[in-house]
Amino acid sequence: IQEFEGMRLTAYLCPAKVWTIGYGHTSAAGAPTVTPGMKITRAKATEILKSDLAVFERGVGNLVKVDLSQNQFDVLVSFAFNCGLGALGKSTLLKRVNAGRFDAVPAELMKWTKGGGKVLPGLVRRRRAEAEMWRGLPNPESEEEGRTSPDTPEASKKITKSKEANAAVVAGGAGAVAAAQQVIPVLQQANGVVSGLSEALGKPAVIAFIVIVVAAAGIWYWRKQRLDEEAS
């Protein structure tokens, strides 16, 4: 209700030419009487809203003769708050509700989209939101777009690709280890060369050189294994 009514701290004429203030409060809902030029505070607007809701909740409770879910009850309170308890009481909407024709309620709600004789986009959005709420569905405007569940083909493809990538990383790592095991003895045999490089270039540079050689050997070994597998 707050979302669709909005809050106005100065009295104004709504599209139906009724003086309104706060969260859609009109004199028909009870005190205070709304007059031109009237001003209120935010705290007062909230206080009036709570009082109005109590009135409409009691009214809907008296009009409805069947059991409703909380969502369904809230929809009728929202409708009555917007259109009035009198309108709800005389409506085909209420007849459908009391007859247990719950499936017909969304269509009945969508008949109430006019203000001052014209269809108003704001009322269309409000009735749609109420219809979705009546069905027990979330507001479509608040739904995240493009969300993919793990059961969808797109998600399955992503998961498959992820598994393939992980397998490649594992295979590459294993290849690097195997290559390193082959390269290390050679490096150990070339200890004299390494010592010479250490003296010439410094120990950090030699360590970096060894790391690069081992990494390159690992990549070469892994690619060789993949080519051998494809050939077989």
Q: What is the pLDDT along the chain (232 residues), one digit of tens a residue?
A: 888 989 999 999 988 889 999 999 999 889 999 999 999 999 999 999 999 999 999 999 999 999 999 999 999 999 999 999 999 999 999 999 999 999 999 999 999 999 888 999 999 999 999 999 999 876 544 443 333 333 333 333 333 333 343 444 334 444 444 444 444 454 345 455 445 544 545 556 656 666 676 666 666 665 656 556 555 4
Of 141, 175, 190, the residue at which a domain comes to its end is 141
Q: Is 99 found in the same domain as 15?
A: yes
For residue 65, tell me if it sits in a domain: yes
For residue 168, tell me if it sits in a domain: yes
Residue with tokens 């007062």: 44
For residue 146, tell me if it sits in a domain: no
Number of domains in the chain: 2
Q: Is 166 found in the same domain as 134?
A: no
Q: Is 160 found in the same domain as 100?
A: no
Is the bond preceding 32 in cis, omega lying within 30 degrees of 0? yes
Contact in structure between 218 and 176 (CB atoms under 8 Å): yes
Catalytic member of 3, 5, 130, 154: 5
CA distance 23 to 27: 12
CATH number where 119 lies: 1.10.530.40
Of 114, 141, 168, the residue at which a domain comes to its end is 141
- Using DSSP's 3-state secondary structure scheme, residue 35 falls into coil
Q: Is 170 found in the same domain as 119?
A: no
Q: Which helix (H) or strand (E) holds 8?
A: strand 8-13
For residue 147, tell me if it sits in a domain: no
For residue 109, tell me if it sits in a domain: yes
For residue 95, tell me if it sits in a domain: yes
CA distance 61 to 81: 13
Residue 5 known to be catalytic:
yes
The H-assigned helical ranges of the chain are 2-5, 42-63, 70-83, 85-90, 92-98, 105-109, 121-134, 153-189, 191-201, 203-231
Q: Is 137 found in the same domain as 49?
A: yes
For residue 44, tell me if it sits in a domain: yes
CA distance 168 to 29: 69
- DSSP code at position 148: -
CA distance 204 to 216: 18
| pTM of the model as a whole | 0.56
Q: Is 164 found in the same domain as 115?
A: no
Q: Is 202 found in the same domain as 93?
A: no
Q: Is 158 found in the same domain as 136?
A: no
- DSSP code at position 101: -
Q: Is 89 found in the same domain as 23?
A: yes
The tokens of 121 are what?
A: 């986009």
Q: Is 46 found in the same domain as 12?
A: yes
| CA dihedral sign of residues 127, 130, 132, 134 | negative
- Segments forming the whole domain that contains residue 135: 2-141
The tokens of 84 are what?
A: 């009035």
**Residues contacting residue 123 through CB under 8 Å, at least 6 positions apart:** 82, 112, 113, 114, 115
Q: Is 205 found in the same domain as 108?
A: no
Q: Is 128 found in the same domain as 21?
A: yes
